[in-house]
Structure 1
Amino acid sequence: MTISYKISPASLHAHIFHVSVLIKNPSADGQAVYLPAWIPGSYLIREFVRNIVEIRAESAGKAVAITKSDKHSWQAEAVKGPLEIHYSVYAWDLSVRGAYLDQTRGFFNGTSVFLAVQGQENAPCNVEIVAPEGKEYKNWKVATTLAARNAKQGQFGSYQAANYDELIDHPVEMGEFSQISFKACGIPHDIVIAGRHQADLKRLKKDLKQICEYQIRLFGEPAPFDRYVFMTMAVGDGYGGLEHRSSTALMCNRDDLPLAHETQIKAGYRQFLGLCSHEYFHSWNVKRIKPAAYAPYDLKQENYTRLLWAFEGITSYYDDLTLVRTGLISPQDYLDLLAQTITGVQRGNGRTKQSLEDSSFDTWVKFYRQDENSPNSLVSYYTKGALVALCLDLLIRKQTQGQKSLDDVMRALWLRYGKDFATQGEGVTETAWEELAFEVSGLDLKSFFDSALRSTDELPLQALLAEFGVDWQMRAPVSSADKGGWLDKVLSPSNSLGVRTSNEGGFVKLSHVLDGGAAQKAGLSAGDLLIAMNRLRVTSGNLDALLASQPTNGEVEIVAFRRDELMHFNVHLQSAEANTCGLRLTSGSDEGNITYADWLLN
């Protein structure tokens, strides 16, 4: 029987949604319900249940006892006839992962608001989305890819889903928002932007259409959805995205969005397009091509896989690659982005301690719970995973003389696991990904995978890129703001403390102290606030200059606060490590180079 939900924005000023769930055929022994502990795509136990502030149950108008049975579950007493549960959800999480409500907008993921009915997760679901009361909200609309039941698209009313898994995979935006539509390969797409902004929607429409059509054609038409929505929240300072089966929830800095008078793609807009590309690619890679560990999800506890490098890392490889293949950015712009990714990986000592498979497996306790020691202890399956994808792509192209590529592996994964996932439900086992890569490429890739995924060996980036007409430069950073990129003139390494810093109340705070660096050797620690160097005040604006003014590998006295205690340190400065990458096309490389053209201009 159908499970019926109703959600109402009950108190916008108090940020409260009222939710009810009607269970027509509850368990004869008493019905159990639970709220997911995490949301697919974000691998951390988030305990969404903490935001349920009150709950009650009734049957035939009479109160029914409902008792908490564990941290995210309740047990209702046995009843004859339908059971209805009413509860309130506090919604003040501005992220893409939770639920939010105020007088300007509402947003929710189903994992934050819809209780699952134990044992009836496969039952069809209806949900009535109710408009807020008050004439000031008369212009509020709804954006969601939930299938309409009796609601008109964009309006409040009744929607439906085939089961609970589908119900929670369609976030809902409500409010007064900007919207523009387009078709990609015949499929309707909407761009929705909440928050104050001055974005050039026509430019967004044109650019996103190219991204969407490229990725649909990469995997093969038709697209795996009937409609897609980019839900974006524009804020003063924020960034993030979360994939869903036919939509994505995004957050960006409003200054990153394109303005009508801008003709070039600024860095912030390039980053936003990369984010859109990343989440859209997930429509195939992780929403339908899934690890077996996620087929189906267990939403009560951690789901472990060693394959996140393939689902997040490969997606991270294709997000910017899509931009250059569609002509939205130039090949050199792409190489600059790639150099920044390489730089980010090289600057973390964790790459020498944690393998990519271990990073994937431990995401629940390490990557999503980063602290001051994380650069020394972990490697990102996003960034290093993207570099492994790059190496794999170039290796296959090289050894098959351009006859095969990672594109072919992704299409084979789609045909074998993704295209029919809705009916077959088969996920990729921990060994099947590599086995399919062997099959598609015709190559023995075992030694590559053993090194890239199960060891901390350095990747063969320089050698492989050289085969495709790309020059490699590894140099010291010229300042703390240097994220990578080619320099025609490489300067001598400057002095370094071996730290990462942030600004806290006008002080320079050591956010991370890197293994083997000058600061660590002198006894400085993460959290210390720098006061002075050689009796001169340290600020975020002059730290680089103070270091540069000292003799190479000289000694300085640093005064710092640790908590509320003043401490003195004698620091032997070190030369900055050559961990900053630059890439450029080899002189003479052009679009006529077949390996280069097939890779970047496909």
Structure 2
Amino acid sequence: MTPIRYAIAPLQPEAHLFAVTVTVDAPDPAGQVFTLPAWIPGSYMIRDFARNIVRIRADAGGAAVPLTKLDKQTWQAAPLAADAADAADAADAGPLVLQYEVYAWDLSVRSAHLDTTHGFFNGSSVFLRVVGQDDHPCTVDLHAPTGEAYADWRVATALPEARGPGGARRYGFGRYQAANYDELIDHPVEMGTFAMASFRACGAQHDVVFTGKVPNLDLQRVCRDLKQICEAQIRLFEPRSARAPFLDSNRRYVFMTMVTTDGYGGLEHRASTALMCARGDLPVRGNAETSEGYRTFLGLCSHEYFHTWNVKRIKPAAFVPYQLAQETYTPLLWLFEGFTSYYDDLILARTGLVSTAQYIEMLAKTWNGVLRGNGRTKQSVADSAFDAWTKYYRQDENAPNAIVSYYTKGSLVGLALDLTIREKTGGRKSLDDIMRALWQRYGRDFYAPGATQRGVTEAEVHALFDQVTGLRLGPLLRALTEGTGEINLPPLFRAFGIKAERVEPGKPSAGAALGIKTRNEEGWVRVSQVLDGGAGQAAGVSAGDLLVALDGLRLAPGQLDKQLARYRPGDAVQLHLFRRDELQVLPVTLAREPAMQYKVNVEPGKHAARTRWLGQ
């Protein structure tokens, strides 16, 4: 097969423009069609990346070729041959060359960003697909921006370097290659001046890249800690061979992190991950303290690395192949995101990067967070997964009252299943065995040459739990994933020496609650969400209101909780607010927090069971 040849260059970093070229040696004689994905795997929302294409043109043999736009993300070049008899003339015209510019100003892990300090892109947001030639090999020439100011720029990507003339040297500009379009867009690229270090985990090279100023960043500590996380996960899935899954088609894994003031996020890829984190979350040389922010960063890295197995290779059947032009629905994200969210912090506990007490505290935080949202009583995690496109990824002011997170509640589903399996089998089986079975049957050979790619169905997932454990888990699994009842964790915890004690909210000594969420906005307190059953909803407070005063005292940003702490549930107050620039005075009877909360502690005893679970 003739390769599709791509090239991308920072055309005007100051104008945030990438220039992209696609060269097709054997275009469709009837008129080659090109299309850009509408979404990126791992982020389930239509993003319409094609809206960022600001100029596009085509030529063949130096002559312009007209383009017709077929829909919001698809173009068709005019035929190079009027009919089959003219195919030779079409070949003589030379390859079809498509040139276009992409506006790149989305500082996130999902799309593309370019300025005079760095460039970043996911292939799904910049590389048009050559329809009908998806399985052709691809090359991509990565060009440096012109000018002395960019002389020190380098490239970070897990894309394999192309061999032969023009082939890139590691971390250099030049030619890279991919087996097909799917692989091409599954390797994000970072370019600029970045801090970098490497480590080996189970013999596989892992590179760590940080873009952005981080004074005294302790890169050695980051590598040391990530090494433990990576090795623990590799051995979880491959306890005998301890072989990393990306070694078949790549030589390394790359953690690439954009550092900002308060950023957070991650997106998984088959041999790398794109991350964002807050500068203050990263460790400082000479300071051995493990801050909560650094634990959060390690948990994020653990989460995205676990996806190397769970969703990048073990996939729901609906994702094989990806249909990137429109939404693709699956109810299984509780497994692919929820279980990953369960394992991300569990791996930190098993490696000793957090203590048992800290891990139990993290579990309690997740559990109580789920309980605070009334959406858990209205939506199952399976429905949350299916509706991710329209609800979870497009949350509005009513989200806490209407939806549940398949990440957080899905992690509790994983926790409940893991503890149940361990307790009922006397520790002989666990959720680890389920994940290994999924890997062996559906993931291990997913990208192997000549292998038939297939994903796992919902029915196969349910059957697997019973087959692997020897238990009848179907009713419990359906109740946890398709129901809206509470997950009964206290008795499960008890079997592992953990006490979960329900704490009644709103005790006389505690502050009263309005049952709202707010944000600071230019010196005002803006209501962002009003929770079901709260005092604010009963009084008529609405999302978007600007709070002015509580009982005659001005409400300054950050002061609402302090002022509420002076009252008790049942106290009557007046709330002054602006709605559509009209002043309103609402009588409010302050209430208790409506959600249940639990205090979770480690108790003496059950050491063996707890150690098998947490590895400590």
Same fold at TM > 0.5: yes
Q: Which residue of 2 aligns with 1:142?
A: 155
TM-superposed deviation, 1:549:
2.3
Residue by residue over 1:134-172, the C-alpha shift from the partner in whole angstroms, topping out at 9 and shown as x without a partner, is 112111100001010011110000000000000000000
**1:594 and 2:608 matched:** yes
Runs of 4+ aligned structure 1 residues displaced above 6 Å come to none
Q: Does residue 581 in structure 1 map to residue 598 in structure 2?
A: yes
Q: Please report how far the alpha carbon of residue 530 of structure 1 lies from its aligned counterpart in structure 2 after TM superposition.
A: 1.0
1:10 is displaced (CA, Å) by 0.7
State the 1:48 CA deviation: 0.4
Counterpart in the other structure of 1:408? 433
Which of 252, 272, 285 matches 2:277?
252
Gaps of 5+ in 2: 81-89
User: Is the CA contact 1:313–1:382 (under 8 Å) kept in the aligned structure 2?
Assistant: yes
- Measured after TM superposition, the shift of residue 493 of structure 1 is 4.2
Secondary structure class of the residue paired with 2:246: coil
Alignment correspondent of 2:87? none
Shift in Å at residue 95 of structure 1?
0.2
Distance 1:158 1:491 in 2: 68
- Give the alignment partner of residue 557 of structure 2, picking from 532, 540, 556: 540
What residue number does 1:117 align with? 130
- 2:171 maps to amino acid: G
- Alpha-carbon distance in 2 for matches of 1:282, 1:492: 45
Q: Contact conserved, 1:35 with 1:72, CA < 8 A, in 2? A: yes
Partner of 1:39: 40
8 Å contact kept, 1:494–1:576: no
CA positional deviation for 1:273:
0.1
| Cα distance in 2 between the residues matched to 1:520 and 1:7 | 52
Contact 1:476 1:578 in 2 (8 A): no
Cα deviation, 1:57-102, whole Å, max 9, x if unaligned, reads 0011100001110011001111113211000000111100011111
Q: In structure 2, what is the equivalent of residue 14 of structure 1?
A: 15
Alpha-carbon separation, structure 2, partners of 1:549 and 1:249 = 45
Alpha carbons 1:476, 1:576 under 8 Å: kept: no
Match of 2:141 among 108, 117, 128: 128
Matches within 5 A, 1:404-553: 404-422=429-447, 423-475=451-503, 492-553=509-570
Q: Which runs of 5+ in 1 are unaligned?
A: 479-489
Residue 56 of structure 2 corresponds to 55
| 1:541 Cα deviation after fit | 3.5
Taking structure 2 as the reference length, what is the TM-score of the superposition?
0.94
In 1, the alpha carbon distance for the partners of 2:161 and 2:4 equals 16
In the alignment, what sits opposite 2:201?
Answer: 184
The one-letter amino acid of 1:137's match is Y
> Structure 1 residues 401, 88: CA separation in 2 closer, same or farther (over 3 Å shift)?
same
Structure 1, 505-514 or 175-184: larger mean CA deviation: 505-514
Which amino acid is 2:128 matched to? L
Shift of 1:551: 4.5
Q: What is the number of equivalent residue pairs in this alignment?
A: 588
In structure 1, C-alpha distance between the alignment counterparts of 2:601 and 2:364, rounded to whole Å: 9
**1:396 and 2:421 correspond:** yes
Written as runs of structure 1 = structure 2, the 5 A alignment for 1:291-302 is: 291-302=316-327
| One-letter amino acid matched to 1:472 | A
Q: 1:206 aligns with which of 224, 230, 242?
A: 224
Equivalent residue runs for 1:63-462 within 5 Å: 63-79=64-80, 80-81=90-91, 82-149=95-162, 150-198=167-215, 199-220=217-238, 221-226=242-247, 227-422=252-447, 423-462=451-490
SS at match of 2:135: coil
Select between 491-500 and 16-25 the one with higher mean Cα deviation: 491-500
Secondary structure, in 3 states, of the residue corresponding to 1:17?
strand
- Residue identity opposite 1:224 in structure 2: P
Q: Alignment partner of 2:170: what SS?
A: coil
Q: Distance in 2 between matches of 1:38 and 1:552?
A: 46
* Cα displacement (A) at 1:545: 3.1
- Tell me the secondary structure at the aligned position of residue 192 of structure 1: strand
Structure 1 residues 98 and 291, CA, compared in 2 at 3 Å: closer, same or farther?
Answer: same
Q: Is the Cα–Cα contact under 8 Å of residues 502 and 597 in structure 2 kept in the other structure?
A: yes
1:577 CA drift (Å): 3.2
In structure 1, give the amino acid aligned to 2:131.
Q
Tell me which moved more, 311-320 or 555-564. 555-564
Q: CA deviation at 1:44?
A: 0.2
| Structure 1 residues 497 and 109, CA gap change in structure 2 (3 angstroms) | same
Matching residue's letter, 1:594: A
> For 1:298 and 1:17, how far apart are their aligned partners in 2?
25
SS at match of 1:122: coil
Shift of 1:460: 1.4
| Separation (CA, whole Å) in 1 of partners of 2:19 and 2:56 | 10
* Residue identity in the other structure for 2:395: Q
SS in 2 for 1:312: helix
Distance between the aligned counterparts of 2:208 and 2:566, measured in 1? 50
Provide the C-alpha distance between the structure 1 equivalents of 2:596 and 2:19, rounded to a whole number of angstroms.
Answer: 52
**How many percent identity over aligned positions?**
55
Contact 2:510–2:565, Cα closer than 8 Å, also in 1: no
Secondary structure at the counterpart of residue 10 of structure 1:
strand
d(CA) in 2 for partners of 1:187, 1:169: 19
Whole-Å separation in 2 of the counterparts to 1:549 and 1:283 = 50
1:264 deviation in Å?
1.9
Instruction: Confirm or deny: 8 A CA contact 2:8 2:18 kept in the other structure.
Output: yes
Distance 1:357 1:552, change over 3 A: closer
Separation in 1 of the partners of 2:568 and 2:331? 47
Quote the Cα distance in structure 2 between the aligned partners of 1:132 and 1:541: 44
Please give the alpha-carbon distance, in whole angstroms, between the structure 1 residues aligned to 2:583 and 2:283.
47
Mapped to 1, the partners of 2:503 and 2:111 lie a distance apart of 42
Report the AA paired with residue 246 of structure 2: F
Q: Are the counterparts in 1 of residues 534 and 593 from structure 2 also a CA contact under 8 Å?
A: no
Provide, for residues 480-518 of structure 1, a one-character-per-residue CA deviation record: whole Å limited to 9, x for no partner.
Answer: xxxxxxxxxx87443111111111122222111011111
Q: 1: distance between equivalents of 2:505 and 2:187? A: 43
Question: Structure 2 vs 1, CA of residues 335 and 165 (structure 1 numbering), >3 Å: closer, same or farther?
Answer: same
CA–CA distance in 2 between the matches of 1:19 and 1:161? Answer: 17
CA RMSD of aligned residues (A): 1.2
Per-residue deviation at 1:30?
Answer: 0.5
TM-aligned CA distance change 1:218 to 1:298, over 3 Å: same
What's the CA shift string for 1:528-564, capped at 9, x where partnerless?
A: 1111111111223432232232353021111101121
Deviation per residue, 1:239-278 (Å, 9 max, x gap): 1000000000000001100001221210000000000000
Instruction: Give 1:430 deviation, angstroms.
Output: 2.0
Q: Secondary structure at the match of 1:225?
A: helix
Task: Check conservation: 1:474, 1:578, Cα contact below 8 A.
Answer: no
Q: Distance in 1 between matches of 2:595 and 2:52?
A: 47
Q: Distance in 2 between matches of 1:548 and 1:130?
A: 58
Whole-Å Cα distance in 2 between the matches of residues 388 and 585 of structure 1? Answer: 21
Q: Distance in 2 between matches of 1:439 and 1:551?
A: 54
Residues 491 and 141 from structure 1, CA distance in 2 versus in 1: closer, same or farther, beyond 3 angstroms? farther
Find the aligned partners of 1:595 and 1:374 in 2 and give their Cα distance: 38
Q: What letter matches 1:332 in structure 2?
A: A
| SS state at 1:474 partner | strand
CA contact (8 A) 1:306 1:358 kept: yes
* Inter-CA distance 24–98: structure 2 relative to 1 (3 Å threshold): same
Offset of 1:475 from its aligned partner?
2.6
With the length of structure 1 as denominator, give the TM-score of the two structures.
Answer: 0.96
In 2, the alpha carbon distance for the partners of 1:175 and 1:551 equals: 55
